[in-house]
Structure 1
Amino acid sequence: MDWTLEVIVLPVADIDRSIAFYRDQLGFALDHDVQTEQMRVVQLTPPGSGCSIVLGMSQMQPGSMKGLQLVVSDATAAREQLLSRGVEVSELSIFDSERDGGTFFFFDDPDENSWAVQQMKVRADKPLIPLDAR
């Protein structure tokens, strides 16, 4: 039996501000934005990902999620894309130049939840979720 991680609840202070950041600046797809009298459920998914984020007011403090990680096939191109969309990102950090997966950059969302972006060149030819399965 597979056990798949498909949703992470991300604590934020302002859901609308977070939608603007994740959808408009990072390019995540807005899958759901549903409001009832009791709650609002907002789910966004990074392109090509099998795991989504749900924005919400939770028992966790906004900004308390640290070290969430995204993987891209080209960190330089991904970094440039985010910079062009107004996201403050770190310089590239190369921890291991001999192996695929050793290049990173980092950014925070408006609530200071922190993200790492790892380059894995193999994802260009072998995406985690094949294109025909999306």
Structure 2
Amino acid sequence: MNWTLEVVVVPVTDVERAKRFYADQVGFHLDFDEEVVEGIRVVQLTPRGSACSIIVGTGVGAGEPGSLQGVQLVVSDIEAARAELLERGVEVSEIKRLSEQDGGTFVYFRAPDGNGWAVQEIRARAA
């Protein structure tokens, strides 16, 4: 039996601001935006090529905005990924090479509420 990670709930204070940030700046695909029942709005976004999505919304999750730290996105070209984030207006760190081994190179950014993300380069995944 497979156990797959499908959704990560990202706690935010402002759903519209988070939706714009993840869709317009980070480049996630907006999959769903609906008030599913009164008081519960679900906005689901998915990184390109990912089987796992994030959800921001009202009435979803119990975490404090800014408490999500260390979620990793994986790319095959860290320089291109960093350039794309910068072009889209995301404040992103310089490239950090923690190891010469494939998978040892990262950049980091924070969403408006302070949720922290890492982008890891794994060249072996290049298509």
Report the TM-score when normalising by structure 2: 0.94
Q: Deviations over 1:33-54 (max 9, x none)?
A: 0113231011000000010000
Q: Determine the structure 1 residue equivalent to 2:17.
A: 17
Question: Where do 5+ consecutive residues of structure 2 fail to align?
Answer: none
Relative to its length, the structure with more strand (as a share) is 2
Provide the rounded CA distance (Å) in 2 between the counterparts of 1:123 and 1:48. 12
Matched, 1:74 2:77: yes
Provide the rounded CA distance (Å) in 2 between the counterparts of 1:94 and 1:38. 44
SS in 2 for 1:11: coil
Q: Determine the structure 1 residue equivalent to 2:96.
A: 93
RMSD: 0.9
SS in 1 for 2:94: coil
Q: Determine the structure 2 residue equivalent to 1:52.
A: 53
SS in 2 for 1:67: strand
Shift of 1:123: 1.4
Q: Determine the structure 1 residue equivalent to 2:65.
A: 62
Shift of 1:60: 1.0
Q: Determine the structure 1 residue equivalent to 2:113.
A: 111
Question: Where do 5+ consecutive residues of structure 1 fail to align?
Answer: 126-134
Q: Is the 8 A contact 2:103 2:120 kept in 1?
A: yes
Q: Determine the structure 2 residue equivalent to 1:30.
A: 30
Report the TM-score when normalising by structure 1: 0.90
Q: Deviations over 1:10-49 (max 9, x none)?
A: 0000000001000000110000001132310110000000
Shift of 1:71: 0.2
SS in 1 for 2:126: helix
Shift of 1:55: 0.4
SS in 2 for 1:22: helix
Q: Determine the structure 2 residue equivalent to 1:122.
A: 124
Overall identity of the aligned pairs, in % = 57
Shift of 1:94: 0.3
- Structure 1 counterpart of 2:75, one-letter code: V
